[in-house]
Amino acid sequence: MAAMPPGWSELFEAATRIKGTHLRTLLQDEARNNSMFLTAGSLTLDYCRQKVDADIMAKLFKLAELSGVEAKKQKMFAGEKINETEGRPVLHVALRAPRDAVINVDGSNVVPEVWKVLDAMKAFSDKVRSGEWKGYTGKPLTDVVCIGIGGSYLGVEFVFEALKTDPEAEAAAKGRRLRFLANVDPIDVKRALEGLSAETTLVVVISKTFTTAETMLNAKTVKEWLVEGLGTADCIPKHVVACSTALEKTKAFGIDPANVFGFWDWVGGRFSCWSAVGVLALSLQYGFGVVQKFLEGGNAMDKHFQTAPLNENLPLIMGMLAVWNCSVLGHEGVAVLPYCQALTRFVPHIQQLDMESNGKRVQMDGTAVPVGTGAIYFGEPGTNGQHSFYQLMHQGRKIPAEFIGFSASQNPIDLPGEPVANHDELMSNFFAQPDALALGKTAEELKAENVPEKLIPHKTFTGDRPSLSLLLPVCDAGYLGQLLSMYEHRTAVQGWVWGINSFDQWGVELGKVLAKEVRSFLSDGRKGAGNDSKFISPTKALLKKYLE
Ligand code: F6P
């Protein structure tokens, strides 16, 4: 292992010390627990079930300082080109800045540009929603199909799903449908278009580069579906719009430049749902007013991240704990566990956000990071996950968990005769699981309960499994904005400590290049002229089998 940069060795030493102290013991210290119970606005973070104490937190804050987290954060907010491998600023925060904010890139304020596109999306979505904008045959466009993948899909779908049962958003979406077509699998085309009529469908092609193979093929496929359904290619200007930074390419695809909603190279794919990527589709579905609350929520968390001191800064603390668990304690996974069915697509989005950002092993200067980086993210809404993978979390591997819960439900139900309302039933689990993981159950406790001797090893829970709990008031647009912005900053903090570039994604390229070679082989192969000399023999054999 390479020499440790300043601040790390102290943490590895502290880890050796704290490993011997069970969470059961740590949790007896009330002063410690209270110091780890934090609020920011209406958000609460309780991290007392992490394997840390005041000394370790001080060392983690010191590491943040030594790694230049504060300076890097300021550079990000100031529009400096911190994405060095691509020579770009990282300014998703500008997408949710208020109209009067000033954020300069190369000497010019980008905020008015952001608001110009927001205003255009508001005007367009209002027209579509009111029926003023009509389809080719004169019918209002009640259905929207978004075509995009990765960062041009996951965040939008997460917010769409999360607001589907929010009373305000639900009322605003009455009579409207929003679908997503992401996978290049033709099965996804069938699923996305099922039951839709070309006459009433608006297609939104979402692609930053407008070159992504999956999106381009799906866009062509759905274009064909529209032309077939409406009998003429003249329908396209009324039925297809785009969200992209590549205006020349959208034009070449046949999309009216007036119907292209732009964004900028300083918006990274996985941070882009605050741009046209998410705002257009979500405004079409829920109205711009709801989306604006989401943007404002994101901005409120930005302000907290910018101004709160280290020991009160929620995203900073979450980022440093993620570093501690991954790099120092050696935990390879993170379970994200929302106790809210509306967050059904939150984890896939966080998976891309964190794993595409931090799944890297070299620092900005190309040298290897001397500690382990980037965890494996997975999860499911509770309580469903409890009946699936929690077994492994309780008695198998130690996986740091992040519990997310809401004080109130989007859909309160209180059945007469039941001891608690349905949301309280859900939340009973949200409160119980972190304690079960941390405290476990000892052989002595089992013996006292007269558990047969031979079952004791099977029924023992070793505990000492770290988690943190986040409690928010309710799953609405504003709090969703805060939650997502918090996870984005949490992701950036880790990257800054590791010295990696969390804002590029070269690791997705090699597979794309190889797929290109296979594609051209298959194209020739179907005509009986495929040349497989480029492939290794196992690949040749499998390709041969496939073509048979
Ligand atoms: O998976 C790689 C990736 O480049 C993501 O980072 C990006 O969000 C996605 O593909 C889609 O890219 P685009 O918006 O250019 O179609």
Q: Which helix (H) or strand (E) holds 244?
A: strand 240-244
What pLDDT is recorded for position 302? 98
List the Cα angle 254/260/266 in 5-degree steps.
Answer: 125
For ligand 1, what atom is nearest to the CA of residue 214? Answer: 16
Q: How far apart are CA 452 and CA 331, in angstroms?
A: 33
What does DSSP assign to residue 6?
T
Could you give the 3-state DSSP secondary structure of residue 97? coil
**Residues 128, 146 within the same domain:** yes
Residue 10 pLDDT greater than 70, yes or no: yes
Q: Which of 147, 153, 156, 209 to mutate to test the pocket of ligand 1 (most atoms within 8 A of CB)?
A: 209
- Of all atoms in ligand 1, which is nearest to the CA of residue 148? 16
What are the phi and psi torsion angles at 146 (to 5°)?
A: -95, 130
CA distance 424 to 418: 11
Tokens of 176: 């409207």
Domain match, 387 and 523 both: no
- Closest ligand 1 atom, residue 209 Cα: 15
Q: How many CA atoms lie within 13 A of 92 on its CB side?
A: 28
Helix (H, G, I), strand (E, B) or coil at 338: strand
What mean pLDDT do residues 300-308 have?
A: 98
Cα 165-171-174 angle, rounded to 5 deg: 100
The three-state DSSP-derived secondary structure of 70-89 is HHHHHHHHCCCCCECCCCEC
Residues 445 and 491 occupy one common structural domain: yes
> Are 219 and 365 in the same domain?
no
| Same domain, residue pair 462 and 519 | no
Test site for ligand 1: of 149, 156, 491, most ligand atoms within 8 A of the Cβ? 149
* Alpha-helix residue ranges (DSSP H) falling in 83-175: 111-130, 154-163, 167-172
Q: Decide which of 96 and 527 is more confident.
A: 96
Q: For residue range 139-172, what is the model confidence (pLDDT) as tens digits? A: 999 999 999 999 999 999 999 999 999 999 999 9
Q: What is d(CA 275, CA 210) in angstroms, rounded to the nearest whole number?
A: 16
The string of DSSP codes covering 182-235 is --SSHHHHHHHHTT--GGGEEEEEE-SSS--HHHHHHHHHHHHHHHHHHSSGGG
Cα 78 to ligand 1 centre (Å): 25
Q: What is the pLDDT of residues 315-340, one digit of tens each?
A: 999 999 999 999 999 999 999 999 99
pLDDT at 464: 98
| Helix ranges (DSSP H) in 287-421 | 288-307, 314-323, 346-358, 390-395
* 83 inside domain: no
pLDDT in tens, 351-363: 999 999 999 999 9
Q: Is residue 4 part of a domain?
A: no
Residues 190 and 286 in one domain: yes
Ligand 1, atom 9: nearest CA belongs to which residue?
150
> What number is the average pLDDT over the span 126-140?
98
Ramachandran angles phi, psi of 334, nearest 5°: -140, 125
Asked if residue 365 belongs to a domain, the reply is: yes
The torsion defined by the Cα of 35, 39, 43 and 47, in degrees rounded to 10, comes to -10
CA angle 198, 160, 279 (to 5 degrees): 80
Question: Are 343 and 470 in the same domain?
Answer: yes
Segments forming the whole domain that contains residue 99: 94-292
Task: Indicate whether 85 belongs to any domain.
Answer: no
475 and 531 in a single domain? The answer is no
Quick one: 120 and 216 in the same domain? yes
CA distance 386 to 338: 11
* Sequence letter at residue 363: Q
Q: Is 345 part of a structural domain of the chain?
A: yes
Residue 131 lies inside a defined structural domain of this protein: yes
395-451 pLDDT tens trace = 999 999 999 999 999 999 999 999 999 999 999 999 999 999 999 999 999 999 999
In a domain, 447, yes or no: yes
409 CA → ligand 1 middle, Å: 34
Same domain as 272, residue 218: yes
Angle at 159 between CA 269 and CA 360, to 5 degrees: 35
Judgement on whether residues 130 and 231 belong to the same structural domain of the protein: yes
Q: Give bridge partners of residue 105 from the DSSP assignment.
A: 108
Nearest CA to ligand 1 atom 8: 151
What's the CA gap between 239 and 328, in Å, rounded? 53
Under the banding of pLDDT at 50, 70 and 90, the label for residue 528 is confident
- Judged against a pLDDT cut of 70, whether residue 274 lies above it is answered with yes
Residue nearest atom 16 in ligand 1 by C-alpha distance: 207
In the structure encoding, which two tokens stand for residue 538, read together?
A: 């196992």
Domain count, the chain: 3
Banded model confidence at residue 246, pLDDT cuts 50, 70, 90:
very high
Instruction: Look up residue 301 and give its two tokens.
Output: 């968390």
For residue 277, the ligand 1 atom closest to its alpha carbon is 14
Q: What is the mean pLDDT of the chain?
A: 97
CA distance 315 to 310: 10
Q: If DSSP codes are grouped into helix, strand and coil, which group holds residue 370?
A: coil
Residue 37: its H or E element: strand 37-40
Q: Flag whether 300 is in a domain.
A: no
| pLDDT band at residue 527 using 50, 70 and 90 as cut-offs | confident
Instruction: Kindly report the protein residue whose alpha carbon is nearest to atom 1 of ligand 1.
Output: 150
For residue 3, what pLDDT band results from cuts at 50, 70 and 90? confident
Both 218 and 242 in one domain: the answer is yes
Asked if residue 1 has pLDDT above 80, the reply is no
Please check the confidence at residue 2 and state whether its pLDDT lies above 70: no
Convert 34-43 to b/e letters by CB count within 10 Å (16 or more is b): eebebebbeb
CATH number where 155 lies:
3.40.50.10490
Q: Using a 6 Å CB cutoff, which residues line ligand 1? A: 149-152, 207-209, 212, 215, 269-270, 356, 505, 508
Would you name the residues annotated as active-site residues?
Answer: 356, 387, 512
pLDDT at 203: 98
- Cα–Cα dist 223/203, whole Å: 9
